[in-house]
Amino acid sequence: MKTKLIGLGILAVVIIAAVVYVCIGRSRTVTEINGYVGGEKIGLLEDEEVQDILRDRYKLAIDYAKAGSIDMITADATGRDFLFPSNQTALELYEQINGKPVKSEIILNTPIVLYTRSAVAQALVSEGIASEAEDVYYVDMEKLTEAIESGKTWSDIGLPQLYGSITVGTTDPTKSNSGNMFAGLLANTLCGGVANESNLPEILPRLQSIFQKLGYMESSSADLFDQFLKTGMGAKPLIAGYENQLLEFAVENPETWEQVKGDIVLLYPTPTVWSSHVYIALDEAGTAGIDALLDQDIQRLAWEKHGFRTGVYDTPTDAAHFGVPGLAEEITQVAPMPDADTMDKIIEAL
Amino acid sequence: MKLTKRITAFWLMIAAVLLLCAGCGAGESDSDADIVLGSGRSSLRIISGSENSELEPILEDFAQQENIRVEMTYKGSLDIMRLMGEEEIPYDAVWPASSLWLTVGDTEHRIKHAESVSISPVVFGIRKSLAEELGFVGREVSVGDLLTAIRNGELSFCMTSATQSNSGASAYIGFLYALLGNPEVITSEDLRSEELKTQMRELLSGVERSSGSSDWLKDMFLEGDYDAMVNYECLMIQTNRELEERGEEPLYVVYPYDGLSLADSPLGYVDQGDDEQEALFLKLQEYLLSGDVQNEIQRTGRRTGYTGVSEENMDVFRADWGLQPERVLSPIKMPAADVLFECLNLYQTDFKKPSLNVYCLDYSGSMSGQGNQQLVEAMEQLLIQENARQNFLQASQDEVNILIPFSGDVIDTYTAVGNGSELEALYDEVKNQTVGGGTDMYAAAVRGLKLLKEYDLSQYTPAIILLTDGQSGGSFYDFDSAYTELGAEIPVFSIMFGEADETQLEELALYTNARVFDGRENLTEAFRSVKGYN
């Protein structure tokens, strides 16, 4: 027993020595920063190649907690070094509450798109709500909004297997970015231009009734997309999301993608809006994240593996490698989002 | 910056190493989990909906393969949601039945890596011959069709508590839609209708038994003699496997097309800054989502993967049991969170069948001091309505609560009707009893049965709830004859405390199709669990 104890004692000393070595070694070389990140960028931050570049070139490790883009602005940011929401409105809101941040920069871009199943896409095409040109599907926002507002049911457009009326599943616009941007897009559609404070009073009640129909909404774009894929056509016939979500999924799950790609359809709203993922540094440590994430190789990985259109890659020539049918080469039909004050009023009303 | 954290972590590790040495030869650490799978130094503590207990063999394989322990604690999904709002979450992972509760509960953004493991719809399972009689076989059935059968007294059923468990909550929301005439979405105004109140009460009066989580409901169903239950498709399959093995009639599964909801079973990590636990969690998640294991999970009757039920697993979803593996599952919309909670509050206070609780509480000598103090505190959580409301355990207007303090014999009996001052006055009685003497829980239970005789039991969900901390005198035989005389199936739940004799309590539970709860770790929690059953 005694020798056993001594043996264990020695083992303990060795372990302690090892722990000390590793801890001291690491803390000298790599700084860990921590912040709130929208769910759709987690794949990029968890990418080992990205983590290696951050560590080797920038001596940086990025830890995060998942939060919606709007939620994170109002959440308690004590102990956080940065916020990484998915639109510029979030930055404007941040500035209204807290003043100018230490530093901020757009890191990635991706357009808002709709996802659906082929049966639904076909029904939308025959209704004249969607159309196909050069293998890319576009959805006429005005006609879609009309169908939603008039209370048309899925069975009205030839889909009796779906229960209820036509809606677009989105995340909660008061909490998460994709839902928020889709609300902006709908507001633009309803006023036939870009929504602003003068035309807002007229369209707000209509916008409210569209969103009220949705009932409970997810708070994260990633969760909504995951559910779209897993719960099947019945549960989420049509959702709003980011273009990069499907591209990333196709790269990360090539086998699954091969099995499901015949059924999943990407629809580009005309016009759409850009989701610009802006990095907001809250302290000096946080600013290091900006330079690191703008690294050319990280930007390349962001496109190739995660589907974000970046500064360098916004007119990609190598879209074919995703194997995603109907991926638009260029996003040309883009409208600006309503300004922050208008969006603020929209959020408040919803 | 995390430097200070790292230093703290470093000292903690040293402390842990020293402790390890000090504890050499000692057994495994105590755990209040319901089941510990595998063995090893590290462990993953998961709080989960009870429906996942069906996956224990799959989790056990993982635990053995990694040489770790997987500690499973089962709770209803809404109880898991409430836990997530607390300051400390003493688990590494949460696994409720639906991501709805995860999203609503994670107010502090502590849940990471949540991903759906499998999908199962909430459906009705009805004894096959009865389903045929009611004309529910081979056609589309609406919630309204089910309601008609319930109203006509042709169908009664079991469902979990809507305020504790996802399957009960989902079914209840489905009922609300149907009674409101299938509106686009439920609003607060809709809920104020008097007509709705009358109809919903009528409907819920068809509920024979309830429970706090779905797998417990399945167990209870299999122990008793009931016509139907609301539960997950996957648990219907499990139930039928067992019924078939026994040579009994299986359930026929009905998918109400205008009241369907889906459980997506998300497993999420509780981020408390421990990298090792996080790595372990991710390993488990990867394992559960791997092709082979997803296939294994599908064979338990859950829908997994992206392409539906595979050809080779079609035999699990048997058509003669009414299962439709290729059905497009088109669920109802859940109301927005604030309306949803309004719905749940109404269920508890206005809609559900009123409870008729008989609390037999032990005041024998051994309870003096801490035991009695804990008892008083636990009852305060139930009886003082402001406390009860926080856990959706508030009493309804017509509820009856009977208090029977006992030691060597019954000390006295007190009855309170409703949810007002009478009920809260019971708390004073709980507080003011003197402690001392022997223990005879049978005498108290017999008295409880006698008091129940005075009520029309079809109008209530009755239960006797026994709390005791010692070996009981008296005899089971006395109880048995009083029980037979009453001639109603009253569950006798027990809460084990102190040195209670588990065999005596299990005997009562088995005999009355109830359960024994362990109150030694957390008495308040145990009372809460019991309340889920009535």
Report the candidate in A117, A185, A178, A173 with the shortest Cα–Cα distance to residue A148: A185
What is the pLDDT, as a whole number, of residue A39? 79
**B contact residues 335-374, partner A, Cβ 8 Å cutoff:** 335-337, 339-340
What is the pLDDT, as a whole number, of residue B130? 97
Distance separating alpha carbons of residues A69 and A84, to the nearest angstrom: 8
Q: Residue count of chain A, please give it.
A: 350
Q: Does a structural domain hold residue B16?
A: no
Residues of B in contact with A65 (CB under 8 A): 109-110, 112, 271
Contact B24 A8 (CB under 8 A): yes
Distance separating alpha carbons of residues A59 and A27, to the nearest angstrom: 10
Amino acid at site B472:
S
**B contact residues 188-217, partner A, Cβ 8 Å cutoff:** none
CATH number at residue B442: 3.40.50.410
- A250 has a pLDDT exceeding 90: yes
Q: Does a structural domain hold residue B10?
A: no
The DSSP annotation for A262-300 comes to TTEEEEEEESB-EEEEEEEE-SHHHHHHHHHHT-HHHHH
- A281 has a pLDDT exceeding 50: yes
The DSSP annotation for B351-392 comes to ISPPEEEEEEEE-SGGGTTHHHHHHHHHHHHHHSHHHHHTTT
Taking only the tens place, the pLDDT of each residue in A41-63 is 988 999 999 999 999 999 999 99
Taking only the tens place, the pLDDT of each residue in A201-213 is 999 999 999 998 8
**Which three-class secondary structure state does DSSP give residue B479?**
helix
Contact B10 A36 (CB under 8 A): no
What is the pLDDT, as a whole number, of residue A295? 93
**Which three-class secondary structure state does DSSP give residue B415?**
strand
Domain that holds residue B475: 354-531
The answer to whether residue B9 neighbours chain A at the CB level (below 8 Å) is yes
Q: Which two tokens stand for residue A334?
A: 């883009």
Averaged over successive runs of 10 residues, the pLDDT of chain B (534 residues) comes to: 47 48 40 87 94 96 96 92 91 96 90 93 97 95 92 92 92 93 90 92 86 89 93 96 96 95 95 93 96 96 92 96 94 92 92 93 92 90 89 88 95 94 93 93 96 92 90 91 91 89 91 89 81 76
Say what angle helices B233-245 and B214-223 make with each other, to 10 degrees: 20
Q: Does a structural domain hold residue B415?
A: yes
Q: Give yes or no for a contact between B39 and B69, defined as CB atoms under 8 angstroms apart.
A: yes
Q: Which two tokens stand for residue B10?
A: 């470093």
Fold that domain A111-275+325-349 belongs to in CATH: D-Maltodextrin-Binding Protein; domain 2 (3.40.190)
Distance separating alpha carbons of residues B51 and B54, to the nearest angstrom: 6
| B410 and B526 housed in the same domain | yes
The answer to whether residue B30 neighbours chain A at the CB level (below 8 Å) is no
| B208 and B77 housed in the same domain | no
Q: Which two tokens stand for residue B8?
A: 């703290």
Q: Which residue of A has its CA nearest to B260?
A: A163
Q: In what order do the strands lie in the sheet with B400-406?
A: B414-417, B400-406, B355-362, B461-468, B492-496, B516-518
| B334 and B393 housed in the same domain | no
- A170 has a pLDDT exceeding 50: yes
Please provide the average confidence, as pLDDT, over all residues in chain A.
88
Beta-carbon contacts of A226 under 8 Å, excluding residues fewer than 6 positions away, are B115, B116
B484 burial level (CB within 10 Å; 0-12, 13-18, 19+): exposed
Q: Give yes or no for a contact between B344 and B176, defined as CB atoms under 8 angstroms apart.
A: no
Q: Which residue of B has its CA nearest to A256?
A: B306
| B95 and B227 housed in the same domain | no
Residue from the list A65, A151, A215 with its beta carbon closest to the beta carbon of B335:
A215
| B148 and B53 housed in the same domain | no
Distance separating alpha carbons of residues A262 and B329, to the nearest angstrom: 20
Contact A215 B334 (CB under 8 A): yes
Q: Give yes or no for a contact between A137 and A130, defined as CB atoms under 8 angstroms apart.
A: yes
Helices (H) and strands (E) in chain A, counts: 15, 9
The percentage of residues in chain A with a pLDDT greater than 70, rounded to a whole number, is 90
The CA distance from B259 to the nearest CA of chain A, in Å, is: 9
| B193 and B335 housed in the same domain | yes
| B333 and B442 housed in the same domain | no
Q: How far is CA A52 from CA A45, A60, A62, A296, B493, in A?
A: 11, 9, 11, 14, 57
Interface test with B, best of A4, A33, A170, A231 (most B CBs within 10 A): A231
| B372 and B506 housed in the same domain | yes
**Which three-class secondary structure state does DSSP give residue A111?**
strand
Distance separating alpha carbons of residues B296 and A172, to the nearest angstrom: 35
CATH number at residue B83: 3.40.190.10
What is the pLDDT, as a whole number, of residue B31? 63
What is the pLDDT, as a whole number, of residue A174? 87
pTM for the model: 0.83
Residues of A in contact with B9 (CB under 8 A): 23
Q: Does a structural domain hold residue B360?
A: yes
Q: Does a structural domain hold residue B151?
A: yes
Q: Which two tokens stand for residue B351?
A: 């809609």
For residue A258, the surrounding DSSP H or E stretch is helix A254-260
| B46 and B151 housed in the same domain | no
**B contact residues 88-107, partner A, Cβ 8 Å cutoff:** 99-100, 103
Buried/exposed A213-244: b ≥16 CB within 10 Å, e otherwise: bbbbbbbbbbbbbbbbbbbbbbbbbbbbbbbb
Q: Does a structural domain hold residue B14?
A: no
For residue A60, the surrounding DSSP H or E stretch is strand A60-66
Q: Does a structural domain hold residue B348?
A: no
Whether domain A31-108+280-322 has CATH 3.40.190.10? yes
Query: How many A×B Cβ pairs under 8 Å?
Result: 127
Q: How far is CA A43 from CA A266, B110, B176, B252, B388, in A?
A: 20, 18, 39, 43, 42
Q: Give yes or no for a contact between A271 and A101, defined as CB atoms under 8 angstroms apart.
A: no
What is the pLDDT, as a whole number, of residue B17? 47
The answer to whether residue B12 neighbours chain A at the CB level (below 8 Å) is no
Provide the domain count of chain B: 3
Residues of A in contact with B1 (CB under 8 A): 31-33, 81, 285
Distance separating alpha carbons of residues A236 and A228, to the nearest angstrom: 5
Q: Which residue of B has its CA nearest to A237?
A: B330
Beta-carbon contacts of B397 under 8 Å, excluding residues fewer than 6 positions away, are B349, B350, B354, B418, B419
Q: Does a structural domain hold residue B20?
A: no
Q: Which residue of A has its CA nearest to B105?
A: A219
| B368 and B305 housed in the same domain | no
3-state helix, strand, coil in chain A (%, to 5): 50, 20, 30
- Residues of chain A within CATH 3.40.190.10 domain(s) are 31-108+280-322, 111-275+325-349
The CA distance from B203 to the nearest CA of chain A, in Å, is: 23
Contact B340 A20 (CB under 8 A): no
